[in-house]
Amino acid sequence: MIETQKIVAKAKMFGKFSLTIDGKTITCQKHRPTLVWLLLEILIYTRHKPLSVVELMHALWDRNSGSSDPMNALKNLVYRTRDLLQNSYGERGTRFILFYGDTYCWNPTLETHTDVDRFNKLCKSIEEAKSSSEKIQLCAEATHLYSGAFLDSTERSQWVLNTRQLLEDRYAQCIASRCESMEQLNRIDKLPEYCLEALKKAPLNIKLHRLTLFCYLKAERFSEALAHYNNTTSLFFQKKGIDISPELRDLYRMITKNFRHAQMDISFVREELQEANDIQNAYFCDFEAFRNLYHVEVRASARNHEPATIVLLTLAMADGSIPEEGSVIREQNALKSAIISSLRGGDIITSYSDTQFLILLPQANMKNSEKAIKRIMTNYHKVCRNKDLRIMYKFLPVESPSSQHLPKDAKMVNHTQGGTLNE
């Protein structure tokens, strides 16, 4: 066991991991921490509960990247981690990790403190606090302690990602508790700025973005709320390739309901409606806006007797399967750029799923639509990096609900780089 003199360990787990014992701090110098560091982080975080060999193996290796001999791999990893601790803290470092009864654990006789422990205690205290001023003080301490995402340099461990999301949501709840307390003290004006500052530590937390929009509404700053909504939907699509507008739709309706006011100067209204972006390219919007524009185009097409086409583009593997999320985000953004730059200013685009885009081509028959799709594919393949991905497309003419059957020239086409298949 560890020597009788008191040894205190302090682990920083928010942001970049570090371990300090007797004034000496160690941290991983590599851009991506190795499994040695991940094992050390897991054992410290779960130090109050010994982990079985199976639990550790599942935390260290997921099903896709698992070792062919995980038992020996784990023994070797423990040896290397003990070696790291010995080189850093001397002979006693070899006794910081214990093995007994088919479980591993961080030595319970080593007094260990982490910023995560303190943060969790503060979160519990916030729930039990009686006064608004006490809650505000506790929230300020907790949010200061949350210096960044949990083990933010570690990306390949599902255990880390799950724990990170849990702690990030607790951080968001701290921000919400403080906003609620500030509102009770009638300090509403600065709530949006407080939320924006909090978002710097968790820029992709949907709960924080909802809270920010709600605080803008509370402060009656409707134009800023609308701008934040637009920025947020764009951010999530660019970073994660997802459309989050459905999750914000209730707040969006509240914003637009309050945003309008009596305005007699129609030139001001026109200026407010003007688009800031280049209108030479196709128009990208969320799915709800796309559906409304589709309804308009159905009416226009029926009235003017002009054709229009709807196109579904899908990013897929060569065998037609859906690609993994991590590999598709960049290609999705590349395809989006290719679509926008390849089409006319009056054409409309939306994201239909993580791997799909919908396109509405007004005044375009089937032949012209196929030419437009080929332009998209040509431009996309100029910037495509993942050569294992293919574009599949299907298109149909726009029709009114009264139409019962497809016209004779209706086509549904699957396209891959190898050729075209007419169904």
pLDDT at residue 114 in the model: 96
Domain locations along the chain: 8-114, 115-145+171-259, 283-422
Which of 129, 134, 132, 171 has its CA nearest to residue 149? 171
Q: Which two tokens stand for residue 383?
A: 């910037």
Q: Does domain 8-114 have CATH number 1.10.10.10?
A: yes
Instruction: Determine the average pLDDT of the residues in 137-143.
Output: 95
Confidence of residue 326 (pLDDT cuts 50, 70, 90): low
Which uninterrupted H or E stretch holds 359? strand 356-362
Provide the pairing of β-strand 8-12 with 111-114. Answer: parallel
Mean pLDDT is lowest, of 284-298, 373-387, 394-408, for: 394-408
> What dotted CATH number matches 115-145+171-259?
1.25.40.10
- Residue bearing the bigger pLDDT, 261 or 413: 261
**Cα–Cα distance measured from residue 231 to residue 245, given in angstroms and rounded to the nearest whole number:** 11
Q: How far is CA 40 from the centre of its chain?
A: 27
Which residues have CB under 8 Å from 177's CB, separation 6+? 126, 135, 139
Shared fold status for 115-145+171-259 and 283-422: no
Q: Which two tokens stand for residue 276?
A: 């800031």
182-234 pLDDT per residue, tens = 999 888 888 999 999 999 999 999 999 999 999 999 998 988 998 899 899 88
Tell me the HSE value of 136 on the side-chain side, using a 13 A CA sphere.
13
Q: How open is the CA angle 285-287-289, to the nearest 5 degrees?
A: 60
Answer yes or no: are the C-beta atoms of 210 and 255 closer than 8 Å: no
Most confident by average pLDDT, 107-111, 271-275, 403-407: 107-111
pLDDT at residue 10 in the model: 96
**Cα–Cα distance measured from residue 392 to residue 389, given in angstroms and rounded to the nearest whole number:** 10
Q: What are phi and psi of 28, to 5 degrees?
A: -75, 130
User: What percent of the chain shows pLDDT beyond 90?
Assistant: 47
**Cα–Cα distance measured from residue 94 to residue 81, given in angstroms and rounded to the nearest whole number:** 9
DSSP 93: G
Confidence of residue 149 (pLDDT cuts 50, 70, 90): very high
Please tell me the chain's helix, strand, coil percentages from 3-state DSSP, rounded to the nearest 5: 50, 15, 30
Superfamily of the domain at 283-422: Reverse transcriptase/Diguanylate cyclase domain (3.30.70.270)
249-283 pLDDT per residue, tens = 889 888 888 766 555 556 666 776 777 666 778 89
Mean pLDDT is lowest, of 71-80, 104-113, 192-201, 398-407, for: 398-407
What single letter denotes the amino acid at residue 26? I
The answer on pLDDT for 386 being more than 80 is no
**Cα–Cα distance measured from residue 258 to residue 170, given in angstroms and rounded to the nearest whole number:** 31
**Cα–Cα distance measured from residue 342 to residue 213, given in angstroms and rounded to the nearest whole number:** 34
Which residues have CB under 8 Å from 388's CB, separation 6+? 317, 318, 323
Which of 164, 123, 165 has its CA nearest to residue 143? 123
Place of tokens 């942001």: 15
212: number of Cβ within 10 Å: 26
Kindly report the pTM of this predicted structure: 0.68
Q: Which two tokens stand for residue 24?
A: 């000496």
**Cα–Cα distance measured from residue 313 to residue 155, given in angstroms and rounded to the nearest whole number:** 30
Q: Which two tokens stand for residue 92?
A: 């006693």
Average pLDDT, the chain: 85
pLDDT at residue 423 in the model: 33
**Cα–Cα distance measured from residue 331 to residue 20, given in angstroms and rounded to the nearest whole number:** 42
Confidence of residue 145 (pLDDT cuts 50, 70, 90): very high
Residue 302, classified by CB atoms within 10 Å of its CB into exposed (0-12), middle (13-18) or buried (19+), is middle
Which of 185, 209, 15, 213 has its CA nearest to residue 115? 15
352-382 pLDDT per residue, tens = 887 899 999 999 988 889 999 999 988 888 8
**Cα–Cα distance measured from residue 313 to residue 293, given in angstroms and rounded to the nearest whole number:** 19
